[in-house]
């Protein structure tokens, strides 16, 4: 068992010395300027403004489906 210790130590030292070769830099170069981000923000604003009436309409449809008919209202009161 003691004879495998130098091999394990050598392997750990070897792998420990080459780990930086496998690592990515992590920094992605982004050449987008301020106008690109302004444009993307404007596009997001358009999408949100288009979704607001759609959500309100869906809520109105759900509210209309939930309402009782006048005959059912008289029967419950």
> Is pLDDT of 71 > 80?
no
Tell me the DSSP string of 32-67: --HHHHHHHHHHHHHHHHHHHHHHHHHHHHHHHHHS
Round to whole Å and give the CA distance between 72 and 74. 5
pLDDT of residue 19: 54
pTM of the model: 0.44
Token pair belonging to 69: 């008919």
pLDDT digit string (tens) for 2-58? 577 778 888 877 777 765 555 566 666 777 889 999 999 999 999 999 999 999 999
pLDDT of residue 36: 92
Total length of the chain: 77
pLDDT of residue 46: 97
pLDDT of residue 18: 64
């Amino acid at each position: 068992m003691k004879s495998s210790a130098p091999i394990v130590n050598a392997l750990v030292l070897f792998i420990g010395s080459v780990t930086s070769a496998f690592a990515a830099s992590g920094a992605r170069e982004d050449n987008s300027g301020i106008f690109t981000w302004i444009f993307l923000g404007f596009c997001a604003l358009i999408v949100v403004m288009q979704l607001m009436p759609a959500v309100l309409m869906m809520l109105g449809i759900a509210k209309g489906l939930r309402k009782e008919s006048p005959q059912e209202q008289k029967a419950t009161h």
